[in-house]
Amino acid sequence: MSDHSSPSRPPPSAAQPSVTETYELSVNGRARSVPDAWIGESLLYVLRERLGLPGAKNACEQGECGSCSLYVDGVLLNSCCVLAADAVDADIRTVEGLGDGGHLTDVQQAFLDAGAVQCGFCIPGLIVTVHDLLDRVPDPDELQVREAISGNLCRCTGYGRILQAVEDVKLARLADPEGSS
């Protein structure tokens, strides 16, 4: 599951838009080379199309839907709105880097247990967002949760089971502070 070792894809065989550069990104604790890439590419594109990390999703590519949420230097961002070449030297953490040694995180498990997953397209972004919320605010009330995830659009669930999953993780973490992911 956690894909810390995804193989980089070969660069496209022929023409590329100019201007290209070769640079290195730090993704999920690993240095990843991005050879000969057009500098106009978003971080979302480079992760998905060059580094083989499709967990961040591309629903709007204009910062409205949150499907591409990830951490850059510990800050939750929409990766569609970040140029990859600008993220050099930053610590990038994607949904693929959340799990520990192949185990689901408490948030991932709670989403499954609560029935929060339907088509699933928004889910990786929501998982990252909920981790960010509960790591910052251990005991949010319902309105705080709704506000925190309001930048992540979901079209299938009406958010009910997602809110349930967040509540479940919150209570479990408050009951057992040592056991949280």
Partner 1 sequence: MSADTTGTTTRTPGVRDGLDTDAARPDGTPKVTGAFAFSSDLYAQQMLWGRTLRSPHAAARIVSIDTSAAEAMPGVAAVLTAPDVPGKATYGLEHADQPVFASDVVRYQGEAVAVVAAEHPELALRAVRAIEVVYAVTAPLTDPEAAIDAPPIHPDGNVFRHLPLRHGDIHATGEVVVEGTYEMGMQDQAFLGPESGLAIPSEDGGVELYMSTQWLHVDRDQVAACLALPAEQVRMTLAGVGGAFGAREDVSLQVHVSLLALRTNRPVKMLYSREESFHGHVHRHPAKMWFRHHADRDGTLVKVEARLVLDGGAYASSSTAVIANAVCFAGGPYRVPNAEIHGYAVRTNNPPCGAMRGFGVVQACFGHEAQMDRLAEALGMDPVELRLHNALRPGDELLTGQVITGTAPVREVIEAAVAHDLPPLPVDGESVMALPGGAGLTAERRDVRRGTGIAVSIKNLMFSEGFDDYSTAGVKLELDPRGRPIATVHCACAEVGQGFVTLAQQITRTALGVEQVLLRNADTQIGSAGSTSASRQTWMSGGAVQLACEAVQERLFERASVRSGVAVEAGRRRHFRMRDGEVVEVDGTFAMSVAELLAEGPIEEIREHHHPATEPLDEDGQGNAHVSFAFAAHRATVDVDPELGLVKVLQVATGQDIGRALNPRAVVGQIEGWIAQGVGLAVMEEILVQDGLIKNPSFTDYLIPTALDMPSVVQTVIEQPEPGAPFGAKGVGEPPTISSTPAVVAAIRAATGRELPRVPVRPQDIALT
Residues near partner 1, by CB under 8 A: 1-3, 9-10, 12-17, 38, 40, 45, 48-49, 52-62, 64-65, 67, 94-96, 99, 104, 108-109, 111-112, 115-124, 127, 143, 145-147, 149-163
Least separation in angstroms between CB 34 and partner 1: 14
Q: Cβ closer to partner 1: 91 or 163? A: 163
Sheet with 30-38, side-by-side order of all strands: 30-38, 20-27, 91-93, 69-72, 75-78
The first and second tokens of residue 70, run together, are 């990830």
The CA distance from 43 to 156, in Å, is 27
Least separation in angstroms between CB 136 and partner 1: 17
Q: Cβ closer to partner 1: 89 or 135? A: 135
Q: Cβ closer to partner 1: 17 or 89? A: 17
Least separation in angstroms between CB 70 and partner 1: 10
Least separation in angstroms between CB 76 and partner 1: 15
The CA distance from 115 to 27, in Å, is 30
Q: Cβ closer to partner 1: 13 or 89? A: 13
Q: Cβ closer to partner 1: 146 or 172? A: 146
Write 56-65 long-range contacts (CB < 8 A, 24+). 56/94, 56/95, 56/124, 56/125, 57/121, 57/122, 57/124, 57/125, 59/121, 59/122, 59/153, 60/153, 64/153, 65/122, 65/125, 65/152, 65/153
Least separation in angstroms between CB 88 and partner 1: 20
| Residues in contact with 65: Cβ distance below 8 Å, sequence separation at least 6, in sequence order | 59, 122, 125, 152, 153
Least separation in angstroms between CB 112 and partner 1: 5
The first and second tokens of residue 102, run together, are 């192949």
Q: Cβ closer to partner 1: 89 or 141? A: 141
